[in-house]
Amino acid sequence: MVDSLVRLRDALREFAAARDWDQFHTPRNLATALSVEAAELLEPFQWLTDAEADRLPPETRAAVEQEMADVLLYLVRLADRMGVDLEQAALAKIELNAAKYPADKVRGSARKYDRQ
């Protein structure tokens, strides 16, 4: 079984190579595209209450899934372009967060989110 992030990385490499698009996939371009897609993912939620967000109409939900896919694809491509191991970076960040927010100190509190 090929790992999902590896499979996506390879599929995107092939996709870009077949179109000669590597030239456009600079880190800055990819980071910009990722940021735009992240905002498109946020867009359908912006005026919704939490309750409304939990029962999205089917077509909105399908659009949200596509935006999530776009974010992941640009992120995987950027990581490949920069030689970053996404899984390792994410696992390392979880460890950092665990040290920063000890479970017994922050349980149930949104306070830890406030960086100020």
Q: Does 77 bind its own copies (CB under 8 A)?
A: no
For the segment 88-107, give every residue that binds its own copies (CB under 8 A): 89-94, 96-98, 101, 103, 106-107
Examine residue 50 and tell whether it contacts its own copies (CB under 8 A). yes
Q: What are phi and psi of 14, to 5 degrees?
A: -65, -45
Q: Report the alpha-carbon distance of residue 99 to residue 41 in Å, rounded.
A: 30
Q: How far is the CB of 100 from its own copies (least distance, A)?
A: 11
CA 115/CA 111 separation, integer angstroms: 8
Tell me which H or E stretch contains 19.
Answer: helix 4-19
Show the binding pattern over residues 5-44: x = contacts its own copies (CB under 8 A), - = does not: xxxx--xx--x--xxxx-xx-xxxx-xxxxxxxxxxxxxx
Q: Could you tell me the end-to-end alpha-carbon distance of the chain, in angstroms, rounded to an integer?
A: 45
Q: Is 54 near its own copies (CB under 8 A)?
A: yes
The residue within the footprint of its own copies, chosen from 13, 73, 99, 100 (CB under 8 A), is 73
